[in-house]
A and B are shown apart, each in its own frame.
Chain A
Amino acid sequence: MRLTPELLLKARLRLLRMHYESKVGHIGGNLSCLDILMTVYHEALGSLDQFVLSKGHSAGALYVTLWSLGLLSDADLTSFHKDGTRLSGHPPPRSIPEIPFGTGSLGHGLGLAAGLALGKKLKGEGGRLFCLTSDGEWNEGSNWEALTFIRHHRLNITLIVDLNGLQGFGNTCDIADLRPLAAKFRAFRLETLEVVGHDVPSLAEALGHASQGPLAVVATTKKGHGVSFMEDLFEWHYLPLSSESYRQAVRQVTSLCATHSAVLS
């Protein structure tokens, strides 16, 4: 595996530092999908493949992932959320070549990925689209339109859901219960895999699953993964880190990585 525990730790610490220094929230949903993004970019994406981030509020995790590949600089990350930055709180349209679409309003990414995948199909080009949505995002009707479309046209798209069970103002099951989401995808006749979204080898295997047409990967995650006082608490959808909570988070993430290292090696 190219994605080493050390690289994952480096990315997780950089993400925490970036959010801490920029005094911005959305850290919970970024921690829940960082392993997914790092696995997509370091293990799954081929040269003809493309990625669309539909859960735009995890832009920070995407920026850090691009940084881990040398596609964004340290200075870029330092400018995150500040006046004059290229790195807005949600992925910007146009200004970063590696980010095909600005997103942030939910329920757009899968349709956009469908257009890119259909473009490849019509042009006879190879390659696959990877698209990451949140779970709360499946409240959006446009996602179900897109799901029907990608199955009907058998587009080469791997749809990944960051199933952290939390959304903007509470638990997904208390707001508009979508369970069982994987069964719903199967009912749409999509091949669907279920994995733990922090189990990198399993994730890598699911994302690399050879498949013609659409594939859904439902990745169970923890919002605020790796930081005990954040895990599964929806307020970390919004809260910025204090200096004390930042130091505590760094300690926990570092020790978690030591455990992960043992698992992965």
Chain B
Amino acid sequence: MRNAFCSTLVGFAAKPDFVFLTGDLGFQALEPLREEMGGRFINAGVAEQNMVSVAAGLGKSGLRPWVYSIAPFLYARAFEQIRNDVCLHGIPVVLVGNGGGYGYGVMGGTHHALEDYGVLLSLPSIRAYLPAFDSDVSEIIRHLMETEHPAYLRLGISEQPAWLTPPPFAAWRHLMHGTGPTVAIAGPLAGGILDALHESGISADVWLVSELPIQALPPAFVSNVQRSQYLMVIEEHVRAGSFGQMLAHQLLLAGTAPGRFIHRTALGYVSGRYGSQRFHRAECGLDPASIVNELTGVTVS
């Protein structure tokens, strides 16, 4: 997604209020943007706290600052600056975290973003965007160039199946219609899971969620959950502050909780060993094979 991200932003390089700050990251990815933006591309150095405060100041002066780093270096290191300087003031700073979930793989736990949107969405006025496909990235960027609120963009790696033409970006997208269990997935791991479900012949009803917090549950989703009475939620994020918790809360408030609720989440470091994103997902039961296995033979009323 980083290339889609950079090439879309290059298209906005001439926008006079657009300012891009990086925490000294972007080698072999952001060079074209640096070329095009000149003085409005700022390498703020390895100093994320200051970078976020500076972005708040830029936003306050009417500019549109985007701040980029490896996800946890931004949301965890500079959390208080995000909280006080950006969110308490409702300044439209766009925080871009690369490597959502286990995206940095064997680089290790310091680089993983397993609690990013959970902690950020506890703050006022911020929204989180989780593109699943490369084509989502450009649509989200277009939207965020005009946003009036702080935003977090969680970049990962697209796993778009060859056969899929993704529907246009929306908070909720109905990716696969089925008569079996209802499945709601947040983030790009949806692509691989969708592909495996497609292959398996399981008639799952699959929804993709790409914007949080949940503003309103789509009526078609709610009626689907009521029909199947079986909901599986999948995301590469720890349980605390997760999409699944938000969704369960909304369903309970609406009096539409399903009979069965399964939640697959990031579980940290199950074996204490490190590996690729695929390795960590498999340890958490987030890999397509585990999901298919869970859903095989599920009967719904």
Let me know if B44 and A149 touch, CB within 8 A. Answer: yes
A93→B81 CA distance, assembly (Å):
13
| Other-chain residue from A94, A102, A122 in contact with B39 (beta carbon distance below 8 A) | A122
The 8 closest A-B pairs by CB, nearest first: A115-B57, A111-B53, A119-B61, A145-B50, A145-B47, A115-B54, A142-B49, A116-B57
Let me know if B60 and A101 touch, CB within 8 A. Answer: yes
Q: Which residue of A lies closest to B57 (CB)?
A: A115
| Other-chain residue from B50, B53, B65, B89 in contact with A93 (beta carbon distance below 8 A) | B89
A141 touches B (CB below 8 Å): yes
By secondary structure, the B interface counts as helix
| Other-chain residue from B50, B59, B90 in contact with A146 (beta carbon distance below 8 A) | B50
Write out, one digit per residue, whether chain B residues 36-60 have a CB within 8 A of any chain A CB (1) or not (0).
Answer: 0001101011010110111111111
A57→B89 CA distance, assembly (Å):
19
Let me know if B45 and A120 touch, CB within 8 A. Answer: no
Indicate whether A111 sits within 8 Å of B54 (C-beta atoms), given known contacts A102-B88, A149-B47.
yes
Let me know if A100 and B54 touch, CB within 8 A. Answer: no
Q: Which of A123-145 contact B (CB under 8 A)?
A: 123, 141-142, 145
- Cβ–Cβ < 8 Å partners of A116 in chain B: 57-58, 60-61
- Cβ–Cβ < 8 Å partners of B39 in chain A: 122
Let me know if B89 and A102 touch, CB within 8 A. Answer: yes
A22→B44 CA distance, assembly (Å):
42
Show the binding face of B for A, using Cβ within 8 Å.
Answer: 19, 39-40, 42, 44-45, 47, 49-50, 52-63, 65, 80-81, 84-85, 88-90
Let me know if A102 and B84 touch, CB within 8 A. Answer: yes
A113→B85 CA distance, assembly (Å):
11
- Cβ–Cβ < 8 Å partners of A107 in chain B: 49
Provide a sorted-by-A list of 22 A–B residue pairs whose CB atoms are within 8 angstroms: A93-B84, A94-B90, A101-B56, A101-B85, A101-B89, A103-B84, A104-B84, A108-B53, A108-B80, A111-B52, A111-B57, A112-B54, A112-B60, A114-B50, A114-B53, A115-B59, A115-B61, A122-B19, A123-B61, A123-B62, A123-B63, A148-B45
Let me know if A115 and B89 touch, CB within 8 A. Answer: no
Show the binding face of A for B, using Cβ within 8 Å.
Answer: 93-94, 100-105, 107-108, 110-120, 122-123, 141-142, 145-146, 148-149, 152-153
A136→B81 CA distance, assembly (Å):
19
Let me know if A149 and B57 touch, CB within 8 A. Answer: no
| Other-chain residue from A105, A120, A146, A153 in contact with B84 (beta carbon distance below 8 A) | A105
- Cβ–Cβ < 8 Å partners of A152 in chain B: 45
- Cβ–Cβ < 8 Å partners of A123 in chain B: 61-63
Let me know if A119 and B63 touch, CB within 8 A. Answer: yes
Let me know if A112 and B47 touch, CB within 8 A. Answer: no
> In the complex, what's the smallest C-beta–C-beta distance from B68 to chain A, in angstroms?
16
- Cβ–Cβ < 8 Å partners of A114 in chain B: 50, 53-54, 57
Q: Which of B58, B62, B63 has the most CB of A within 10 A?
A: B58
> In the complex, what's the smallest C-beta–C-beta distance from A14 to chain B, in angstroms?
28
- Cβ–Cβ < 8 Å partners of A148 in chain B: 45, 47, 50
- Cβ–Cβ < 8 Å partners of B81 in chain A: 108, 111, 142
A79→B254 CA distance, assembly (Å):
42
Q: Which of A93, A103, A107, A115 has the most CB of B within 10 A?
A: A115
> In the complex, what's the smallest C-beta–C-beta distance from A251 to chain B, in angstroms?
39
| Other-chain residue from B19, B42, B56, B63 in contact with A112 (beta carbon distance below 8 A) | B56
Let me know if A146 and B53 touch, CB within 8 A. Answer: yes
Besides A111-B54, A145-B47, 19 other CB < 8 A contacts? A93-B88, A94-B88, A101-B85, A103-B84, A107-B49, A108-B80, A111-B49, A115-B57, A115-B60, A115-B61, A115-B65, A116-B57, A122-B39, A141-B49, A142-B81, A145-B50, A148-B45, A148-B47, A149-B44
